Structure 1
Amino acid sequence: MAKRMLWFTGIFSSLTALTTVSGFAISNQLMYLKKKDENLILERETTAKRYDEYWYANVKKSERWIESANGYSIKAIFLEPHATNRYAIICHGVTENKVNSFKYARMFERLGFNSVVYDHRRHGDSGGKTTSFGHYEKMDLQAIVQALKLHVGPHLVFGIHGESMGAATTILYAGMEDSAAFYISDCAYSDISEQILHVMKTKTKLPTAISLKLISVFLKLRDGYSIRTVSPREAVQQIKSPVLFIHSTHDEFVLPKMTQELYELKSEPKMLKFFEEGAHAQSFNADPHAYERTVEEFLDRFGLLKEETKKSAL
């Protein structure tokens, strides 16, 4: 009997150790997701002529450190080519940094807006030790909004543009504090748990159901939040301001049906655009002119463009 108990105890201890090791390993992959090399991002955007060094050197701008409620500083750049109270805050995707946001800043500049680009936590120059796929990032975005309001004053009119994780962060923020005049969600996931499952099924050989439970437990223990709270599909139902939903039909990483779901859950006012070119987060890169026309149409439809910035095509 004693030998049998020792045998069961040994098996239980081994399983516990294996579960612990697996939980740490899998949660590590998410919390410390490998980022793209910053020099390669700059080279990519410069080579593709989406980042113009001459423009950046000459545009009116100010670099700012903004304190997050999460206990670290966020690096932001206020780009102010216009004498206007209209701004767009731009949220980049996971593994990218603020350099990837400059192409959208140029687009908004052509549409009569100033902009704010910034690095998410653990990306670029910002602080923060982990990536939380929107949970803590939405609070950082809230800090950016508060800083912009203090900078511009009570007459501020602003919107938020997000790409991929930045889009999910935008929706999560809006569900918490719907203070912007508009939102643009480009290829957001509707639920991080389902997105993780999709990636595991298509990119790994992990047993998905067990792995997701381990991820949930270990993220709660190690990073202090539950993945159940990272649910744009819940947040989007609270948004009253206009939302433009964008996705590429060829996106195999975040499936287009997730944007379709978010669009259907959002009450009016709203607008949906699927692009036929481009993979994940590549709709702008594949056809920047069509992308800009879509954004312009959206802003015009809901009275968010000044008359002098409207183009004759509208």
Structure 2
Amino acid sequence: MASSETQSRSWLKWGALGAAAAGTCAAVVVTATSGLAAFFARRVVTPEKHRVDDVAILAVIADGPALQVVLEATPDTIIDGTYGLYFNDSSAHAVIGRILSYVPREGSVTREVLSVHGGELRTATAGWWSGSLYSDPGQLGLDFSEVELSLPGGPAPAWYIPVLNPCATWAIMVHGRGARRNEGLRAVPTAHRLGMNALLISYRNDGDAPDAPDGRYGLGVTEWADVEVAIDYAIAHGAKDVVLFGYSMGGAISLQAADLARNRKHVLAMVLDAPVINWVDVLAHQAQLNRIPNYVGKYGELMLSHPLGRRITGLAAPVDFKAMDWVSRAVELRTPSLILHSIDDDFVPYEPTAELARRNPEMVTFEPFSKARHTKEWNVDPDRWENVVETWLRPRLGRHSLPRH
């Protein structure tokens, strides 16, 4: 049997080894946590250069002169409504209509094809699903012109879509994260019926406008300055005021513009579709969806919002989440706002929208939808979407905004 001194030395040895091992494990855990948080934070603010074709096209069936397409059944493709299916590296797309059959056990859904633009659907094997039916105003039969906005980062393209006998209010469409200006085309017919010229803008890092120096989304903290330029353009070309139509992150951008822009007095109202009301809530939801532990998501949020996190995220300046928390700032919102938001939105939860409307009913009207997921309220029920927007906006346009004859 070993002496007590030998046993003591043995315990000390193993204790030291155990402490070293525990320290190593702790270091590994901290490193892994930091790495995952950094990946999560960078992904939030880094623009995607190319959309991934993540919906399989299983077959295309000729039904006389019409076409039908058999698609992989996904949470998006099994919802009724009208959508865009982009393929051939996003250079072509088809407008997809109603569901003709759905076979869950085979994981397939067959839908009608309403039109095809720019390519041959029969040879495509995959594409990506979108709420944007058309890639430019010409496909809607609209007269339009390409105009240039002098953004802080350089010249950026926009579509100007005039209406006959315009009123003094313009509609400015602000698309969401990962989308482009064609996202706002769905709202143009409604704007035109109300007598508003439409301006569909691009903004920094969206693939059409110049990139910001850091090449990162500001989540609304920086992009609102580009909307400010768009408002200037509208006023310089005859508008008395504007209505901002914002989708998803475009909603967050519009809220910041109405709050901070030098020319914010010209923002008559906002129509926001599935807007980000509180980024902290969205980030927590996305972390949960991606099975990222809550503390890791919080760490990623800290990286985005703290000055020291810039070396990791690549941001030129930290993101001020408090400035974009419109639940906490509810009473500060003084621009009449209609918010259309699906209660099953899987990307931007609707609860902050509902809470904002509850806290500021004087300024905020919340119109809940269902089954629309994210920013597809119009696609699921276009008649209702357009009727709600027209009914809410018409009395707010005012006498000075009656169509000119």
| TM-score normalized with structure 1 length | 0.81
1:172 aligns with 2:256: yes
- Name the counterpart of 1:28: 42
Per-residue CA shift, 1:179-214, capped at 9, x if unaligned? 20111111112210111101111x212122233223
Distance 1:246 1:103, change over 3 A: same
- Name the counterpart of 1:91: 174
Cα offset for 1:91? 0.9
Q: Is the 8 A contact 1:45 1:100 kept in 2?
A: no
Distance 1:277 1:48, change over 3 A: farther
Distance 1:95 1:48, change over 3 A: farther
Matches within 5 A, 1:258-273: 258-266=352-360, 268-273=362-367
- Name the counterpart of 1:160: 244
Gap regions ≥5 residues in structure 2 = 1-11, 53-85, 97-112, 116-132
Whole-angstrom CA distance in 1 between matches of 2:366 and 2:174: 19
- Name the counterpart of 2:270: 183
- Name the counterpart of 2:90: 40
Per-residue CA shift, 1:197-255, capped at 9, x if unaligned? 01111x21212223322332255432112334332334553232321121123323222
Letter in 2 for 1:296: E
Secondary structure in structure 1 of the residue aligned to 2:338: strand
Q: Is the 8 A contact 2:280 2:301 kept in 1?
A: no
Structure (1 or 2) with the larger CA radius of gyration: 2
Over the matched positions of the two proteins, sequence identity in percent amounts to: 17
Letter in 1 for 2:236: L
- Name the counterpart of 1:140: 226
Cα offset for 1:262? 1.8
Secondary structure in structure 1 of the residue aligned to 2:327: helix
Per-residue CA shift, 1:38-88, capped at 9, x if unaligned? 8638625697674376466761423213222xx344332222233533210
Whole-angstrom CA distance in 2 between matches of 1:108 and 1:137: 23
- Name the counterpart of 2:145: 61
Whole-angstrom CA distance in 1 between matches of 2:332 and 2:324: 14
Letter in 2 for 1:239: L
Distance 1:119 1:308, change over 3 A: closer
Distance 1:271 1:44, change over 3 A: farther
Q: 1:205 aligns with which of 266, 291, 316?
A: 291
1:110 aligns with 2:193: yes
Secondary structure in structure 2 of the residue aligned to 1:215: helix
Letter in 2 for 1:135: V
- Name the counterpart of 1:241: 335
Q: 2:163 aligns with which of 81, 92, 115?
A: 81
Whole-angstrom CA distance in 2 between matches of 1:48 and 1:99: 18
Q: CA RMSD in A?
A: 3.2
Q: Give the aligned length.
A: 303
Per-residue CA shift, 1:115-168, capped at 9, x if unaligned? 11112321131122112221112222122222322333xx52211011111112
Distance 1:229 1:145, change over 3 A: same
Secondary structure in structure 2 of the residue aligned to 1:125: coil
- Mean Cα deviation higher: 94-103 or 218-227: 218-227
Letter in 2 for 1:30: V
Letter in 2 for 1:206: I
Letter in 2 for 1:245: I
Question: Greater helix share, 1 or 2?
Answer: 1
